[in-house]
A and B are shown apart, each in its own frame.
Chain A
Amino acid sequence: MTIEPVRVERLLPVRPETVFDAWTNPESLRQWMSPGSAVVGSVECDPRVGGSFRIVMLDGHGALEHAGRYLELERPRRLVFTWRSPVTGSVDTRVTVEFAGIDAGTLMVITHEGLDEQPTRDAHRGGWASIADKLAEAVTTTG
């Protein structure tokens, strides 16, 4: 079974350089990288090829560490890094972010691959997918 990578797009009304920098600046990441119910505890990043980053988010139970390594940095067009989190466990997944300059600003495309390499589980379709789909839909239509 082939599973497509996750792909999220956004049109942002600023220049590609500005968006690219928001992904590699620790103070910016602190502002926008934490899910709403968690707080960013610390951000370390070394934005060069082979450099690593570590973002620790704090929820009611403790620390959730998100970490990886930068594979490609082509300011302002493209950023590629590995990504590990409590969800992925010991598996390295891969995130590519592309920033295309257009008249209105920047088209940002996030592609997250390697998510089909999770440990084997029961095959039945379902999961909280349906909850997330409905909620994501509601967010999009009311946004």
Chain B
Amino acid sequence: MVEQVAGALDITYGALADPTRRAILEVLRAGEARVTDVAGRFPMSLNAVSKHIRTLERAGLVRREVRGRDHYLAAEPDALGGARDWIDHYRSFWEDRADALAAHLRDTRDQGSDP
């Protein structure tokens, strides 16, 4: 359970750590938009943008709705934030890193590195 939850935090951190993905969320701040309209704003292939969108979906930050032939994207309300974004990013980031450091120290101590 701990590993699953820690993994989910990492997925969200990874999703938001990319400028293109943050820009996609900014576009969706104004409201839902068609995938093709979102993609048209970026100087990269539709395929490349789609990959970014899938990462945001996996992280639960955007949701997709199919209406007829169009795919619409909307940011999840929790994904749009104010000044607390970086703070919450890094609280989670350092909590995870501290856990990883503790595990690393335990492993190296068990190997006899710390007298």
A-to-B contact residues, CB < 8 Å? 1, 3, 6, 8, 10, 12-15, 18-19, 22, 28, 31-38, 59-61, 64, 85-89, 93, 108, 110, 112, 115-116, 118, 121-133, 135-136, 138-140, 142-143
- Is there an interface contact between B19 and A89, defined as CB atoms closer than 8 Å? yes
- Is there an interface contact between B19 and A127, defined as CB atoms closer than 8 Å? no
Q: What class of interface size applies to chain B in its complex with A?
A: 35 or more
Tell me the nearest residue of chain B to A34, going by C-beta: B100
Give A143 to B2 CA distance when docked, in angstroms. 6
Please tell me which stretch of B32-40, B65-73, B83-91 contacts chain A, meaning at least 4 of its Cβ atoms lie within 8 angstroms of it. Answer: B83-91
- Is there an interface contact between A86 and B18, defined as CB atoms closer than 8 Å? yes
Give A13 to B93 CA distance when docked, in angstroms. 22
Listed from nearest, the 5 A-B pairs whose CB atoms lie closest are A127-B81, A35-B10, A32-B100, A115-B86, A32-B104
- 30 sampled A-B residue pairs with Cβ under 8 A: A6-B87, A8-B98, A14-B114, A19-B101, A19-B105, A28-B108, A31-B104, A32-B100, A32-B101, A32-B104, A34-B100, A35-B14, A35-B96, A36-B100, A37-B7, A37-B10, A87-B13, A87-B86, A112-B90, A115-B87, A115-B90, A121-B83, A124-B82, A127-B82, A132-B91, A138-B5, A139-B2, A139-B5, A139-B9, A139-B95
CB distance from B70 to the nearest CB of A (A): 25
For residue A32, which residues in chain B have a CB less than 8 angstroms away from its CB? 97, 100-101, 103-104
Q: A22-B101, A122-B29 are in contact. List 17 more A-B contacts (CB 8 A).
A: A10-B99, A33-B97, A36-B10, A36-B96, A60-B55, A87-B90, A88-B86, A126-B77, A126-B78, A127-B81, A127-B82, A129-B78, A129-B84, A129-B88, A132-B89, A132-B92, A133-B88
Q: Using A22-B105, A32-B103, A35-B14 as known contacts, say yes or no to A127 and B9 having CB atoms under 8 A apart.
A: no
Give A22 to B107 CA distance when docked, in angstroms. 12
For residue B100, which residues in chain A have a CB less than 8 angstroms away from its CB? 31-34, 36
- Is there an interface contact between A127 and B102, defined as CB atoms closer than 8 Å? no
For residue A123, which residues in chain B have a CB less than 8 angstroms away from its CB? 82-83
